[in-house]
């Protein structure tokens, strides 16, 4: 080393971030946290609908399990609850109830099947054997797999007030049952005609007038006349023009005084 020269020290480099404090990750930034969406409060309307749905399902199950697991008082209470829900409910509630009752009544197509273990093995081979045996038990003892259970809901539809929905559902099932010729079908059709006679919807009256005019079945004609006689007594309560009432009265008189086959109403 030469004289007069100072020993040079190695230059110390500052870390790139020496002048800047270490920043927290972005996820720890308070500003970022404040931007996170807060959980939304439950929608009151949806919560109310969910509660109503639960109530309807509970009542439907109570009726379905009569008389094995539910007594008559509980069954009647459940039916009254369904009637009240329909009367007080909005259109959405009524449509939901109609859908569930339709599913209940649609089991009438299954009456022709004898429910055995072999049947449920073929229907759902992947199901556990214990569940298959339980399915047999339910099919035997559930209320809706019997004529009297189905008639119970037909009667309920005839009692519902405030909309034409229930009557339209009755005529829908009547139409399908007309394509089946057996005693069970005749019994259910008779119960529907009776329910249409007890209904208050003008739609029920007009449907009965059509059935009377075009049926070729003497037994059905007699049932239709019985239903129309009930309408004859409450015709004045209908909110329709007096001229239309007079026309309906003339039709009713012609139908109830005619013999089956003696006019175009037979």
Distance CA 102, CA 83 (A): 15
DSSP class of residue 261?
T
Supply the pLDDT for residue 110: 87
With CA atoms as reference, report the closest residue to 193 among 175, 214, 179.
175
Q: List, for residues 80-131, the tens digit of each pLDDT value.
A: 999 999 999 889 999 999 999 999 999 998 888 899 999 999 988 898 999 9
Distance CA 248, CA 255 (A): 11
Residue 203 CB neighbour total at 10 angstroms: 17
Supply the pLDDT for residue 113: 87
What are the DSSP calls for 205-230, one per residue?
Answer: HHHHHHHHHH---HHHHHHHHHHHHH
Residue 2 domain-assigned? no
What are the DSSP calls for 150-179, one per residue?
Answer: HHHHHHHHHH--S-SHHHHHHHHHHHHHTT
pLDDT at 262 over 80: no
Distance CA 75, CA 64 (A): 9
**Cβ distance 86 to 99 under 8 Å?**
no
Q: List, for residues 17-54, the tens digit of each pLDDT value.
A: 444 555 555 555 555 555 556 667 668 878 888 888 99
Q: Compute and round to an integer the Cα radius of gyration of the chain.
A: 35
What residues contact residue 234 under an 8 Å CB cut-off, 6+ apart?
A: 200
**Cβ distance 238 to 202 under 8 Å?**
yes
Residue 124 domain-assigned? yes
Distance CA 94, CA 68 (A): 29
Supply the pLDDT for residue 201: 92
Q: Which domain holds residue 104?
A: 50-158
Residue 144 domain-assigned? yes
Distance CA 153, CA 227 (A): 18
- Give the 3-state secondary structure of residue 117: helix
Residue 103 domain-assigned? yes
DSSP class of residue 23?
P
Q: Name which of 10-14, 153-157, 220-224, 245-249 the model is least confident about.
A: 10-14
Cβ burial 212-242 (10 Å sphere, 16+ → b, else e): beebebeebbebbbebbeebbeeeeeeeeee
**Domain total in the chain:** 1
Residue 217 domain-assigned? no
Residue 171 domain-assigned? no
φ, ψ for residue 200, nearest 5 deg = -115, 0
Question: Which residue carries 């939304």 as its tokens?
Answer: 40
Q: How many CA atoms lie less than 13 Å away from 4 in the CB half-sphere?
A: 0
Q: Is 200 exposed, middle or buried (0-12, 13-18, 19+ CB in 10 A)?
A: middle
Distance CA 198, CA 6 (A): 119
Query: pTM for this structure?
Result: 0.78
Supply the pLDDT for residue 38: 65
Residue 148 domain-assigned? yes
């Amino acid at each position: 080393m030469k004289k007069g020269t100072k020993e040079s020290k190695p230059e110390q480099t500052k870390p790139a971030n020496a002048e800047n404090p270490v920043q927290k990750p972005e996820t720890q930034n308070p500003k970022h946290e404040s931007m996170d969406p807060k959980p939304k409060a439950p929608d009151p309307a949806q919560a109310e609908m969910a509660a109503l749905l639960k109530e309807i399902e509970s009542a439907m199950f109570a009726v379905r399990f009569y008389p094995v697991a539910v007594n008559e008082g509980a069954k009647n209470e459940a039916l009254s609850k369904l009637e009240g829900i329909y009367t007080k409910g909005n259109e959405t509630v009524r449509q939901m109830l109609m859908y569930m009752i339709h599913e209940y009544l649609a089991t009438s197509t299954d009456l022709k099947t004898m429910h055995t273990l072999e049947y449920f093995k073929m229907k759902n081979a992947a199901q556990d054997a214990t569940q298959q045996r339980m399915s047999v038990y339910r099919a035997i003892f559930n209320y809706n797999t019997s004529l009297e259970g189905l008639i119970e809901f037909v009667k309920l539809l005839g009692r519902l007030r405030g909309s034409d929905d229930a009557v339209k559902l009755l005529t829908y099932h009547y139409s399908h049952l007309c394509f089946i010729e057996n005693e069970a079908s005749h019994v259910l059709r008779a119960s529907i005609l009776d329910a249409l006679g007890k209904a208050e919807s003008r739609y029920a009256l007009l449907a009965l007038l059509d059935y009377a005019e075009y049926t070729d079945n003497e037994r059905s004609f007699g049932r239709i006349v019985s239903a129309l006689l009930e309408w004859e007594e409450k015709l004045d309560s209908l909110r329709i023009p007096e001229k239309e009432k007079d026309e309906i009265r003339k039709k009713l008189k012609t139908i109830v005084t005619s013999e089956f086959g003696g006019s175009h109403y037979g």
